[in-house]
Structure 1
Amino acid sequence: MATTKKAFAYLRVSGRGQVDGDGFPRQLAAVKAYAASHGIRIVQVFEEKGVSGTNELADRPAFMEMMTALHANGVRLVLCEGLHRLARDLMVQESILHDLKRHGFELISVQEPDLCSDDPSRKLMRQIMGAFAEYEKTMIVVKLAGARQRMKKKTGACEGRKPYGYFEGEQVVLDRLKSMRASGATYEAIAATLNSEGIEPRRAGSKWHAGYVHRLLTRG
């Protein structure tokens, strides 16, 4: 009888507004469909909530948690929906793939399952796709900057999003985040505490997530 291969699923959305959208369900459905057709059992799902695809490994709480789990329990395979879910920066993409392979782990992008190998032609295609993903991300940033400039010319002001802590009541919450973190609380525990107490993030109706807490506490 064939042994079922175990795997972790890695999902990522870049914006806080996407956390409660269809991004995670869509990605998980694609990963599960691939796993079911290839005799793979997903044993744990890691969700990177509100983390940019240009972020390095150290700025990805869920990915770092997954790496710890990979080293701890014998799972050697990671599935993700597509390489753009892994990263939108070519250097970050290749760095992550190199780090996984260096430790003996395998990553499969279910949309491009044969692109993560070291075959020269597949590596070239993967890097071309990574470059396009990086270009797409850059163009989004450029378009947003252009829109802000047009708004500034039209209205005389366009200051962009205010950092958390700017509005009334936010600094108190921010100070509490820092205090809990200094006491040894994990980002997940901090988020869970705020949610249990009914303290809302800036966007009404949303929930605190580990990725958001991490960004607030590590921003420059």
Structure 2
Amino acid sequence: MKAYGYLRVSGAGQIDGDGFTRQQEEIERHAKTAGIEIVRYYREEGVRGTTSETDRPAFQEMVSAILKNGVRTIVIEGMDRLAREYRIQESLVIYLASKGITLISARTGEDVTEAMQADPMRKALIQMQGIFSELEKSMLVKKLRAARERVKQKTGKCEGRKSLKEAKPDTWKEIKRLYRKPRLGERRTYKQIAEALNAGGHTTMAGKPFTAGNLQQIIWREQQE
């Protein structure tokens, strides 16, 4: 199992001392015993234990990374390194659990999120947090969609990621030339067009070689504009 390690110190003295080293060693010890691979550490410097998740830059960066990849576990030295105050500890654990993230304390080996969900009342709070998080996300998506539509109505196009024909006009011109059916003979296949583009030094928006599959999607998408 892969996991992230979360380290926190609140004062300058701890930053310069052995705070991070001690925490990391404890996490590594537990990880080795439990068969966990720590793929990255997130260090929270100068953040007090009474601070919520919104004012923890490293914590937020870590959660954002988790939501984008397959890592779903965080290991901490102990609950006091997550937060000093119990109410903040509980708030942060509920926040993580609502996003399907597991929190493990290296000091005790406890799956903190699992233990919290064993309590019916806490489990209800986790579920409520998840519902409100999903609602907030849906509201934001709806607001952004409405904003894009307003811009599109005014300008005819909503600003955003450029299309291939806008970003690479020469490549799009060559695609159209190769895709066009000749007066005599058969139209080139997507594979043949992709090979011709690659031979000519053309690449996709991501800088990768063309394939029959991505070329077909590109042509279809660009023709819808």
TM-score, L = length of structure 2: 0.50
2:65 maps to 1:69: yes
User: Which residue does 2:208 correspond to in 1?
Assistant: none
More helix by share: 2
- Higher RCO (CA-CA < 8 Å; seq separation 6+): 1
Amino acid of the structure 2 residue aligned with 1:114: E
Amino acid of the structure 1 residue aligned with 2:100: G
2:94 maps to 1:98: yes
Q: How many residues align?
A: 118
Structure 1 spans left out of the alignment, 5+ residues? 124-220
- Cα separation, partners in 2 of 1:74 and 1:114, compared to 1, 3 Å: same
- The within-5 A match list for 1:17-36 is 17-36=13-32
TM-score, L = length of structure 1: 0.51
2:9 maps to 1:10: no
Greater C-alpha Rg: 2
- The within-5 A match list for 1:78-93 is 78-93=74-89
Deviation of 1:119 after TM superposition, in Å, equals: 3.0
Deviation of 1:71 after TM superposition, in Å, equals: 0.6
- Aligned equivalents of 1:83, 1:11: Cα separation in 2: 11
1:59 paired residue among 55, 60, 70: 55
- The within-5 A match list for 1:1-220 is 5-114=1-110, 116=112, 117=115, 118-120=117-119
Amino acid of the structure 2 residue aligned with 1:112: T
* SS of alignment partner, residue 5 of structure 2: strand
CA offsets, 1:16-57, max 9 Å, x none? 221121000000000001001111100010000011000011
Does the 8 Å CA contact 2:8/2:43 hold for their aligned counterparts?
yes
- Aligned equivalents of 1:31, 1:21: Cα separation in 2: 18
Runs of 4+ in structure 1 off by over 2 angstroms are: 112-115
Deviation of 1:112 after TM superposition, in Å, equals: 2.3
CA offsets, 1:83-126, max 9 Å, x none? 00000112211111011111111000111222611334xx8xxx
Amino acid of the structure 2 residue aligned with 1:48: E
Deviation of 1:68 after TM superposition, in Å, equals: 0.7
* SS of alignment partner, residue 37 of structure 2: strand
Q: Percent identity?
A: 45
- Aligned equivalents of 2:118, 2:79: Cα separation in 1: 17
Amino acid of the structure 1 residue aligned with 2:45: K
- Aligned equivalents of 2:110, 2:60: Cα separation in 1: 25
- Aligned equivalents of 1:37, 1:114: Cα separation in 2: 13
